[in-house]
C-alpha cells in the first residue's frame, strides 16, 4: 500500500499525518482551519494548500475523518448503521476524487426509537482496537459529547452519547454556579472524586449541581476545587449509566487532560483502564485504508 495521508478535519481544527505503509507517522501538521473556519466553503482550496505536497506521489491515498463529512462540511457522507467495522466504513467511503481522496462516514445507532450518531470517533475506536490488539471491549471517548461504545468481533455494536462536556460549559459559564467557581482551575483530585461519589447518591444531577453553590455559600468549597467537584458530578452521572464490571477493562480515548479524569473515576470503581490519544485516529484511518485492499 502506498503512503496514506490521514486527515482529521473537525469543527475547530484540521490535523493531518503522512503515514508509511506500516502506519508509522512520517510527518504531521495542524492548523486552526476547522469546518466552521473555511471561508466561502472552499474546502478543496484549503485541502490543496495544506496537503498538495503529500499528494504528489503517484498512488497517494487520502482518507478524511471527522466533521468534514457532515452536512456543514465539504460533502455530507451518510452514516453507516451499527454494527459496523473498518470494512463497512471502507465500503461506504464518499469519494471526493475516486481512488485518491475520500471522506469517512460516521456511524448511527438507534435505541428505543431515538437515533444516535458519531462522526470521527468511530475511526478512533478502530484505531485503539488496532493499537491494543482488541476485537471486543468497552470504549469511552470523553469530550463535549462523550461517546460510550460496545465492540464485539471487531465491530461497534452500539453506542450512546452524553453531553457531559457541553453541560459543564453551560453550568460553569452561564449559570449561577459561574459566580462560585473557577472554570479553568487545574484538577483537584480530591474534590473531583467527592463529586463522583456524590453523583451516586440517587438524588439526580439537577439537585446535586445546586450543591456546588450551597457548599460555596457555607465556605465548604472554594472556587478552585469547585470546578473539579462539578466535573466529578457530571462525569459521575455519566458513569452511573454504564455497565462497568469490577476489574473489567475500559478503553479511554481522547485528550490527556480528559482521559486522566475518566481514568481516576473508573479506577475508583475498580475498572482497569487503558488510554489512547491522537495516535488512535491515525491507526483507525490506517485500518480503513487496509480494508480497501
The yes-or-no verdict on residue 204 having pLDDT over 90 is yes
Helices (H) and strands (E) in the chain — how many of each? Answer: 9, 14
Q: Any idea which residue has 486527515 for its cell?
A: 7
pLDDT tens by residue, 267-290: 999 999 999 999 999 999 999 999
Residue 71 gets the label, from left (phi > 0), alpha (psi -120 to 50) or beta, of: alpha
Per the prediction, the chain carries an average pLDDT of 96
33-37, 61-65, 198-202, 243-247: least confidently modelled range: 243-247
**C-alpha cell read off for 3:** 503512503
How far apart are alpha carbons 19 and 24 in whole angstroms? 5
Sheet of 137-141: strand order equals 155-162, 146-152, 137-141, 249-253, 272-276
Contact 126, 134 (CB under 8 A): no
**Region 69-95 average pLDDT:** 97
Contact 32, 49 (CB under 8 A): no
How far apart are alpha carbons 19 and 291 in whole angstroms? 16
Give residue 245's pLDDT band: very low, low, confident or very high (50, 70, 90): confident
Contact 14, 71 (CB under 8 A): no
How far apart are alpha carbons 179 and 176 in whole angstroms? 6
First and final CA of the chain: distance in angstroms? Answer: 8
How far apart are alpha carbons 172 and 226 in whole angstroms? 10
Higher-pLDDT residue of 246 and 41 is 41
The yes-or-no verdict on residue 2 having pLDDT over 80 is no
The number of beta carbons lying within 10 Å of the beta carbon of residue 27 is: 12
**Region 205-221 average pLDDT:** 96
How far apart are alpha carbons 93 and 266 in whole angstroms? 35
pLDDT tens by residue, 59-76: 999 999 999 999 999 999
pTM of structure: 0.95
Bridge partner list, 155? 152
**Region 174-201 average pLDDT:** 95
What pLDDT does 111 receive? Answer: 85
Q: Any idea which residue has 473556519 for its cell?
A: 37
Bridge partner list, 108? 81, 117
Amino acid at each position: 500500500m502506498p503512503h496514506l495521508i490521514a486527515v482529521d478535519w473537525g469543527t475547530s481544527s484540521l490535523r493531518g499525518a503522512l503515514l508509511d505503509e506500516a502506519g508509522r507517522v512520517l510527518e504531521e501538521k495542524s492548523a486552526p482551519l476547522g469546518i466552521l473556519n473555511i471561508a466561502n466553503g472552499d474546502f478543496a482550496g484549503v485541502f490543496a494548500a495544506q496537503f498538495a505536497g503529500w499528494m504528489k506521489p503517484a498512488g497517494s491515498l487520502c482518507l478524511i475523518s471527522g466533521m468534514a463529512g457532515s452536512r456543514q462540511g465539504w460533502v455530507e457522507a451518510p452514516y453507516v448503521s451499527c454494527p459496523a467495522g473498518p470494512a463497512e466504513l471502507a465500503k461506504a467511503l464518499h469519494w471526493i476524487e475516486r481512488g485518491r481522496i475520500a471522506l469517512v462516514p460516521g456511524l448511527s445507532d438507534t435505541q428505543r426509537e431515538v437515533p444516535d450518531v458519531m462522526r470521527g470517533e468511530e475511526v478512533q475506536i478502530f484505531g485503539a482496537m488496532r493499537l491494543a490488539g482488541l476485537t471486543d471491549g468497552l470504549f469511552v471517548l470523553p469530550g463535549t459529547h462523550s461517546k460510550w461504545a460496545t465492540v464485539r468481533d471487531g465491530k461497534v455494536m452500539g453506542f450512546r452519547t452524553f453531553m457531559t462536556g457541553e453541560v459543564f460549559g453551560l453550568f460553569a459559564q452561564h449559570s449561577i454556579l459561574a459566580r462560585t467557581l473557577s472554570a479553568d482551575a487545574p484538577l483537584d483530585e480530591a474534590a473531583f472524586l467527592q463529586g463522583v461519589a456524590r453523583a451516586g447518591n440517587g438524588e439526580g444531577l439537577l439537585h446535586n449541581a445546586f450543591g456546588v453553590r450551597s457548599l460555596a455559600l457555607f465556605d465548604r468549597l472554594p472556587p478552585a476545587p469547585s470546578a473539579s467537584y462539578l466535573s466529578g458530578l457530571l462525569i459521575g452521572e455519566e458513569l452511573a449509566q454504564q455497565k462497568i464490571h469490577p476489574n473489567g477493562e475500559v478503553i479511554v480515548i481522547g485528550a490527556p487532560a480528559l482521559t486522566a479524569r475518566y481514568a481516576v473515576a473508573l479506577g475508583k470503581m475498580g475498572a482497569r483502564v487503558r488510554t489512547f490519544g491522537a495516535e488512535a485516529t491515525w491507526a483507525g484511518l490506517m485500518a480503513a485504508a487496509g480494508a480497501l485492499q
